[in-house]
Amino acid sequence: MIEWLVKFDHNNISPLDNRYSSKINDIKKVFSEYSLIKTRFIIEINWLLYLCDKKPKYFNKISNATRKKIIKFRDNFDDKSVIKIKKIEQSTNHDVKAVEYFIRDFFKKDKTLSKYVHLIHFGLTSEDVNSLSYAIMLKDGLNIYTKDIVNINKILTKSSKKWKSLPLLSRTHGQAASPTTVGKEFKVFSNRIDREIVKLRNIYPLAKFSGAVGNYHAFDIAVDNINWPEFNSKFIKTFNVNQNRLTTQIEPHDWIAEMLQIITRLNNICIDLSQDMWIYISNEIFKLKLNINEVGSSTMPHKVNPIDFENAEGNFGLSNSLNDFFINKLTISRLQRDLSDSTVLRNLGLSFGYSKLGLSSLTKGLSKVTPNKELIYQELDNNWEVLTEAVQTVMRYEGIDNAYEQLKDLSRGQKLNKKNYVDFVNNLQISTESKKKLIDLTPAKYIGLAKTL
């Protein structure tokens, strides 16, 4: 924390780069400018090595000594390398070309390496390098996100099991309704998240590596007896990315949209959970654990606020807003390409950053809550009218055709207590067995199959 404060820059415009910086370190490492430049650099180096290793008949054969020299150069990439590349970019006004020139300048200083300068960026368009770079970064970002959402689900599953038998008054339209259990309500969210995680794990990153407008022109004109689509596809798979073989100059980004749509649904599930927890806390169904060092209000010292759930809701909303724009923008491009996707792609990390903040706050919030059992049972005991569903259903089963209307006259807009309820049941013309079943019933016991579910 102290280290972060030392690096704190009051001029940063985004809270992701100052206030929340320490909470998204893994996301920053994946989506930073440094990471983008380094990924491009690695792709350029690995492509050159791949050409020489796999097709020495057509490209310069590479010795072990030369290979080690190139790999050492690749693996020693650091902040100084980025600074040099950014300096070149000031002149070229082209980010990928700056990486190419950086490698070229290094190779030219070495008598052996200078023989391979012509193979740097061979056959590629900058979009090939960028497409693969973003696919790699999004793959890594997705792995981080998946771990975080799985962790949330573990917490929900644990809570669901812990409180599976704890009854809870339901609320439909904000009004008292048939009881449930705390565990079952947590299980609903866990189950929703589970389904989306399955879909998330079926997302396969795609990239293109097929030259200008996607037709392998440069590759084919240079060497026409190599199966370039297959050859390039195998190269991309070394990064655990699949090739989209049929593209324009850009990969259409449909897979990115699909991934972000799943994340948006997960964000929405988490917003739904955050809002429900906020309401439960507001109604004192859940209590918040106290932290003596926290301040709930600058003027009201008694307050213990559900800020973690509020922060989660806000950050999930920011992520969703960004996702909505990305989904609608990135899948549209004029003709073979326009450059408007380039500046947009640079912001993908923001969505992951805000979503991670939301998950972090939600995790923290869930760790602070505990059911207020005394109030839960008190609320159930104050709402005997919720048993009217049970009574009218048993009456129907026993053949009474106006059961609903009788219960409506008794209970709609009115409060029932145990005495009213028992008196009504005792006066029913139903079997002794059914009557006993209803007399033994209480709001706390009327939970259906919630415990089993």
* pLDDT (tens digit per residue) in 134-158: 999 999 999 999 999 999 999 999 9
- Do 274 and 362 touch, CB atoms closer than 8 A? yes
User: How many of the other CB atoms lie within 10 Å of CB of 55?
Assistant: 13
Supply the pLDDT for residue 8: 55
- Do 193 and 146 touch, CB atoms closer than 8 A? no
**% of the chain beyond a pLDDT of 90:** 78
Q: Where are the alpha helices (DSSP H) in 13-125?
A: 25-31, 33-54, 64-75, 79-92, 95-108
Residue 179, Cα to own-chain centre: how many angstroms?
32
Least trusted range by pLDDT, from 41-45, 54-58, 299-303, 401-405: 299-303
Per-residue pLDDT for 126 more than 60? yes
User: How many of the other CB atoms lie within 10 Å of CB of 414?
Assistant: 9
Type and span of the H or E element at 272: helix 254-282
Confidence of residue 9 (pLDDT cuts 50, 70, 90): low
Per-residue pLDDT for 293 more than 80? no
Domains parsed from the chain with CATH numbers: 22-122 (1.10.275.10), 127-211+250-294+301-371 (1.20.200.10), 383-439 (1.10.40.30)
Alpha-carbon gap, residue 189 to 187, rounded angstroms: 5
Which of the residues are catalytic? Answer: 173, 297
Per-residue pLDDT for 443 more than 50? yes
Q: How many CA atoms are closer than 13 Å to the CA of 114, on its beta-carbon side?
A: 4
Per-residue pLDDT for 98 more than 90? yes
Per-residue pLDDT for 301 more than 60? no
Supply the pLDDT for residue 298: 37
| The residue to which tokens 């009788």 are assigned | 406
pLDDT single digits (tens) 51-97: 999 999 999 899 999 999 999 999 999 999 999 999 999 999 999 99
Q: Output the six-digit token pair for 147.
A: 């771990």
Supply the pLDDT for residue 304: 56
Q: Is the torsion defined by CA of 238, 121, 132, 225 positive or negative?
A: negative
Q: Output the six-digit token pair for 336.
A: 């073979």
- Rounded to two decimals, the pTM is 0.91
Per-residue pLDDT for 2 more than 50? no
Alpha-carbon gap, residue 266 to 355, rounded angstroms: 10
Per-residue pLDDT for 3 more than 50? no
